[in-house]
Amino acid sequence: MAPRLREQGFGTLSWNFRGQTGSPFAPEAALTDQLIVGDLLRLLHDIAPQRPLLVGLSIGGLYAARAVLAGADAIGLVLLNTLREIGPRIAWVNDALPAIVGYGGVGLFMDALLPLLVNPHYAAKVRGDRLQGGYAPLEPSHGHMNLMRHSVTTDWNLPWGALRLPTLVITGLADRVFLDRDVVDRLYAQLPHAQREDWAQAGHLLPQECPEELAASLARFGHEVAS
């Protein structure tokens, strides 16, 4: 996806949170939402990209929105399957994920939830690579475990109406885990300068399921807000 955007004249920067692949962290660090948003603000300050447009998937969109509210100088914001409230269903999933990964690693998590997260075509496409067994627990000190443990304390009660910059909201309607359409409708209505795309052909993992379509939407929005 990033090469497609660069072909259209955009610069791209992909950033892993502390604890994700290639992003080290101190063993004693608690990888909370406050820490991650602070990292994003420092990254933007140090690199100083010209006219940045922040794009975040799921909780990454929440982090990007919080960075904007904390003063990040961005010309636009893209929220990919971000708008949600933590009701009983999502709270159950959030609490279960560290237990699943602690017992059987990311492989067990993917085998258990992937068909509910993605569109049927993508699920069928990757089915041959899944359910191979060999599950192994992640150590409590692993970065993914640290992130999951602290993700359950993330505050999703954002003042969405305070986001005064152009915002694109893309929602995958095939997401059967995190999507609540009534919540998306209500939170989207609070955004003062937003536009919306609902994708029936996609679930939660938009960059994996629909990379070409996502690159096209990002480019269109990027050109629009840059002009």
Tens-digit pLDDT profile for residues 24-74: 999 999 999 999 999 999 999 999 999 999 999 999 999 999 999 999 999
The reported pLDDT for the residue numbered 1 is 84
Mean per-residue pLDDT, 180-184: 98
Using the predicted structure, report yes or no on whether residue 227 has a pLDDT greater than 90.
no
List the chain domain ranges.
Answer: 2-226
One CATH from 3.40.50.12280, 3.40.50.1820, 3.40.50.2020, 1.10.510.10 for 2-226: 3.40.50.1820
pLDDT digits (tens, 9 = 90+) for 67-101: 999 999 999 999 999 999 999 999 999 999 999 99
Amino acid present at 10: F
Supply 195's token pair. 């536009």
Total residues found in the chain within this entry: 227
Query: What CA–CA distances, in Å, run from 85 to 59, 151, 163, 211?
Result: 11, 14, 17, 26
Helices 88-117 and 143-151 cross at an angle (nearest 10°) of 140
Interval 109-129: pLDDT, tens:
999 999 999 999 999 999 999
pTM reported for the whole predicted model: 0.96
- pLDDT at 216 (0 to 100): 97
What tens digit of pLDDT does each residue of 145-159 get? Answer: 999 999 999 999 999
